[in-house]
Amino acid sequence: MGEAVLEVAVRGPGDVPGADEGGADRLHLATDGDLSPEPALVSSVCRETELPVFVVLRLTDSWTTTGGELARLVGLAGDYLRCGAAGLSFGFLDSDLDVDTEVCSHLAAQLPGVPWTFHRAIDSSLDAERAWARVVDLPGLVGVCSAGSPQGLATGYDDLLALASRAPRVARLLVPGRGLLGEHVPWFVRAGVRAFHLGPQVRPGGSDKAYVDAGHVRSWRLLVDDAVARVTGASAG
């Protein structure tokens, strides 16, 4: 794994070769709608790769959860880990649309030592800076997937870049995604960001019906690594 982490979204084992051969560092597995897959699907993906696979924990299209759902999520997480998953991706908001630290901390506590990323629920919080202040200290957290807006980076890029630029702890955890463009990468890297999430960008035509393409992934790998090399080279000089 290089200095930058390239996370590629996959839907099944057919996406694995392209991500693997193209130079991805981590796979992010979810069904359509960014919901939790069946354990059998997790197992089939993990069997196809030695890359770490992070699996989404989310049962409904809501960013909130109930006590009953929480118990199911804990059980599902255990199933995923037994199937070979290296980590998880989840994130929940409370009724005030703030980060639900109680729920997230409970899940993390049930999965000691398991790395996880906070899913894009953070983009639906009412106050981004408050949400980030609540999320950065959650146990086991290794990244926060965000586009700065529920509408994606087309809307949230400027605010998200500004936040990362003035807050090193945000930059350290930020995994920009949902609408990421090549032109965004150098600016995020200069702000201290070292992880990126790719979805439609690495599928021919941006179609969910197309498998992840190794050439597309490789072009992003080269772009990200070059941006990091330019910044670290300039810093070293």
DSSP 6-17: EEEEESSGGGHH
**What's at 16, amino acid-wise?**
V
Strand-pairing partners, residue 176, are: 146
Asked if 149 contacts 158 with a C-beta cutoff of 8 angstroms, the reply is no
What span, in angstroms and rounded, lies between the C-alpha atoms of 69 and 58?
9
For the chain, the domains span 5-236
Q: Report whether 225 contacts 22 (CB < 8 A).
A: no
* Cβ–Cβ < 8 Å for 54, 28: yes
Cα dihedral sign, 196-6-178-37: negative
**What mean pLDDT comes out for the span 131-157?**
96
pLDDT tens-digit profile of 92-123?
999 999 999 999 999 999 999 999 999 999 99
153: part of which helix (H) or strand (E)?
helix 153-166
Over residues 18-24, the mean pLDDT reads: 98
Among residues of the chain, what percentage have pLDDT more than 70? 97
Residue 150 Cα to chain centre, angstroms: 15
CA 225: distance to chain centroid?
18
Segment 147-183, tens digit of pLDDT: 999 999 999 999 999 999 999 999 999 999 999 999 9
Helices (H), 23-146: 39-47, 67-82, 101-110, 128-135
What integer is the mean pLDDT of 21-40? 96
- Do 145 and 117 meet the contact criterion of CB atoms below 8 Å apart? yes
Q: In the predicted model, is pLDDT for residue 7 greater than 90?
A: yes
pLDDT at residue 236 in the model: 42
**pLDDT for the residue 234:** 54
Query: In the structure encoding, which two tokens stand for residue 160, read together?
Result: 């998200």
Question: CATH number of the domain at 5-236, out of 3.40.50.150, 3.20.20.380, 1.10.3080.10, 3.30.70.20?
Answer: 3.20.20.380
Mean pLDDT of the chain: 94
> Among 150, 127, 120, which Cα is nearest to 58's?
120
Q: Average pLDDT in the 25-37 region?
A: 95
Model pLDDT, residue 2: 47
Q: What is the predicted pLDDT for the residue at 237?
A: 41
Residue 28 has pLDDT above 90, yes or no: yes
Whether pLDDT at 1 is above 60 = no
Nearest to 92 by CA among 79, 77, 102: 102
Instruction: Decide which of 146 and 234 is more confident.
Output: 146
